[in-house]
Amino acid sequence: MSTYHQEAYLAIEIQPADAAEKERLMAVRKYVQAHTRQDDLRALAPYIRGLMGEGYQVVCGSSHIWLKREGTPERLAIVANRLNTAYRDWYEPIIPTGPRPSIRTEDSLPIPDQVPLGPSSPSQ
């Protein structure tokens, strides 16, 4: 018996092409939300294939399921493990990247032209 569980979620990465596709994706989202705790996400794939129907590829691994429109290179949506991924819906703002300040200011590197934070060292 496995003790590792995954928290499944669906991220729709590109805008649905039409109302029918949006409805299918919302049905997938509802299904995934009803079955979030999984040992292996592959168990969800057959049901997702059924919900999406023809015209879609549904490919999976143990920790993800991705959906594509047949004949297109970009991924339409992904089912992933919330505990170690952060995929987002197409309409959500992008999280800023780059260096972020440490929450432990005593471990921070000094910023040029600013007074260093933390204990000062004795002058020589």
Percent of the chain with pLDDT over 90: 50
Let me know how long the chain is: 124
Kindly report the pTM of this predicted structure.
0.70
CA distance 28 to 5: 20
- Does the CA dihedral 100-102-108-112 come out positive or negative? positive
Q: What is the pLDDT of residue 1?
A: 46
Per-residue pLDDT band at 105 (split at 50, 70, 90): low
CA distance 90 to 98: 21
Pick from 1, 4, 7, 2: nearest CA to 83: 7
CA distance 51 to 35: 14
DSSP conformation class of 20: H
Answer yes or no: are the C-beta atoms of 57 and 67 closer than 8 Å.
yes
